[in-house]
Amino acid sequence: MTLKYTWYGHGTFGLDLDGTKIVIDPFFEGNPAASTTLDKLEADFIWVSHGHGDHIADAGPLHKQTGAQVITNAEIAGWLGKQGVETHAQHIGGGFQHPFGHLKFTYAQHGSGLPDGSDGGNPVGFLLTTADNKKVYFACDTGLFGDMALIGESSLDLAVLPIGDNFTMGPDDAVRAAQLLKPKHVIPAHYNTWGLIEQDAMAWAQRIEAETDAKAHVLQPGDTFDI
């Protein structure tokens, strides 16, 4: 089976599994790093990791445009449900066999307040296991936490990690994260969207190559990576 990752800029990602399209944390309108616009996107499923505007902003509009089901935590699912969005609620530690594969919600150390001040529950990361046993981990917005070592026990093919600092892990902690997660490949995210989270991703990638067993891939918004 084919599995293609796309970085749409900031913390917004795409996965294409044999033609099934997943959009993760859709943030296009108002995203200075966005590589495309909402109207050009197709989606069969949408995943939302937490309630912050730079992750949920276009979840409702993308659902309206595509009919894609939104998979998110129970609190955000309730909030979106009241707006007429079709959702599937999960929570941390819980996995479910979806048509595209097995998706487990993981711990994330962050906040999750919704744009209108509603409680967005706890933020999550995502661990995808495909039918042919490829494993992809999206840390989403988080600081470094020691239990990444537990997630690392699952032989990850790819880990997508924030490196922007200020709101999430910065480059130093993201190197430490890669040491705990032990992925085959690692891709940085959540940086260079605004000056506040500007980072030298190539310098970080060199550290990954020197200090971990992972291979680092620095993408530009719009770039894809075949997993």
Tell me if 213 sits within 8 A of 178, measured CB to CB. Answer: no
Shortest Å, Cβ 56 to Ni ion: 9
Shortest Å, Cβ 153 to Ni ion: 26
Shortest Å, Cβ 172 to Ni ion: 19
Nearest CA among 116, 110, 79, 80 for reference residue 92:
110
CA 223 to CA 8: how far, in whole Å?
A: 8
Shortest Å, Cβ 110 to Mn ion: 8
Binding letters toward Mn ion, positions 9-28, x by CB under 5 A: --x-----------------
Q: Pick from Ni ion, Mn ion, none: which does 10 bind, CB < 5 to 8 A by kind?
A: none
Token code pair at residue 217: 């891939």
Interacting residues with Ni ion between 36 and 95 (CB under 5 A) = 52
Other Cβ atoms closer than 10 A to 117: 8
Q: Which 3 state secondary structure label does DSSP give 67?
A: coil
- Asked if 75 interacts with Mn ion (CB under 5 A), we say no
Please name the residues in contact with 129: beta carbons below 8 A apart, sequence gap of 6 or more.
101, 102, 104, 135, 154
For Mn ion, the binding residue among 7, 26, 38, 54 (CB under 5 A) is 54
CA 25 to CA 72: how far, in whole Å?
A: 10
For Mn ion, the binding residue among 141, 157, 165, 173 (CB under 5 A) is 141
- Asked if 141 interacts with Ni ion (CB under 5 A), we say yes
Nearest CA among 113, 12, 11, 120 for reference residue 72:
120
Smaller CB distance to Ni ion: residue 141 or 157? 141
Shortest Å, Cβ 189 to Mn ion: 10
- Asked if 165 interacts with Mn ion (CB under 5 A), we say no
Count the residues of the shown chain that bind Ni ion, applying the rule CB under 5 A: 2
CA 48 to CA 56: how far, in whole Å?
A: 6
Smaller CB distance to Ni ion: residue 58 or 141? 141
Smaller CB distance to Ni ion: residue 101 or 170? 170
Tell me if 76 sits within 8 A of 95, measured CB to CB. Answer: no
CA 174 to CA 186: how far, in whole Å?
A: 10
Smaller CB distance to Ni ion: residue 103 or 124? 124
Please give the residue ranges that form the binding site for Mn ion (CB under 5 A): 11, 54, 141
Q: Which residues bind Ni ion (CB under 5 A)?
A: 52, 141
